[in-house]
A = this chain, B = another copy of it.
Amino acid sequence: MNGKIRIAIAGHGNLGRGVEAAIEHNPDMSLAGIYSRRPAGQITPRQTETPVHGMEQLRSHADQIDVLILCGGSKEDLPQQGPELAALFNTVDSFDTHARIPEYFAAVDPAARDSQHTALISAGWDPGVFSLNRALGEALLPDGATYTFWGDGLSQGHSDALRRVPGVAGAVQYTRPAKDAINQVRKGGRPDLTPQQMHLRECFVVLEDGADAETVREAIVTMPHYFADYETVVNFISAEELARDHRAMVHGGFVIRSGTTSPGTTQVMEYSLKLGSNPEFTASVLVACARAVHRMHGLRQFGAKTIYDIPLGLLSPRSAEDLRAGFL
């Protein structure tokens, strides 16, 4: 076990469980422990030998942890935990409220810097590798336009909105990229597209006994903000079908840069993800980022960082020499 990067997990929801799974695929890491606000008896780690502790014990375990991965939510947990824990640990988190990232960075940066820690914020896929590709697209093709399409993906917020419609017993919503729009962009076009033109919304709904399908459909497709401005398809299914076919937290999307390097010469770069499990992929990114954070801390690069600050070779378990010889 000597020499392994000791990772700990703060928060054990879907993301925290994904981090547990991801660590098993990275032989240069070990899982030092899971920290949760829930009683230890309610946490079932994937490996029975993994220590489970209360969140309040973190402070006294600082010398046992190289990098702490924060798996709490962006709304309630991270705004408090991020700055607090970056003062005690090297951290990685997936803070994903895009509009509040500058404010969050400003809170985490001094905490990490003053205590000589490295704190990577807003890692994952969006924000994360998608952000990387948006910046890369503009840098490589300055004369161009960037498009981010999401889907096919299960949207938690829209699924919740469906479940609040009277007459709905259960529901999920998938965001799907509009194929026509993607094809226009892939061909090197630079259309002006609104999010509504770039995406469709497909709903799978279980009706309550006696509910009228047409009334429910009408309530959904006219719902302001969530559905009214989008092309929305509503499918009615049974409770059994919902349970059987719609449990996976699939997601994904496309970042496409369409640009021109000389008159008439178009260049298109595209990065896409097709994810069988959104939280497990996000967790895999966080774990690779933990490796980079550990190395950057060793290089005394203290303070809050984002994925833009990481030389990507540091994400790989391979040495720079191996990467040059085998991957370049």
Contacts and interface: CB of A to CB of B under 8 A. Distances in A.
Contacts of A142: 25-26, 317
A223 interface: no
A43 interface: no
A258 to B, nearest CB: 9
A183 interface: no
Contacts of A321: 102
Contact of A327 (B134, B291, B316, B320): B134
Contacts of A275: 267-268
A266 interface: yes
Given A284-B140, A288-B140, A316 B268 contact: no
Interface in A75-130: 98, 101-102, 105, 122, 127, 129
A191 interface: no
B22 A261 contact: yes
Give the oligomeric copy count: 2
A302 interface: no
B313 A311 contact: no
B313 A309 contact: yes
Interface residues of A, number: 68
B273 A327 contact: no
A324 B277 contact: no
B311 A309 contact: yes
A138 B315 CA distance: 9
Interface string A64-81: 000000000000000000
Interface string A285-301: 10010010000000000
A186 interface: yes
B309 A101 contact: no
A320 B269 CA distance: 23
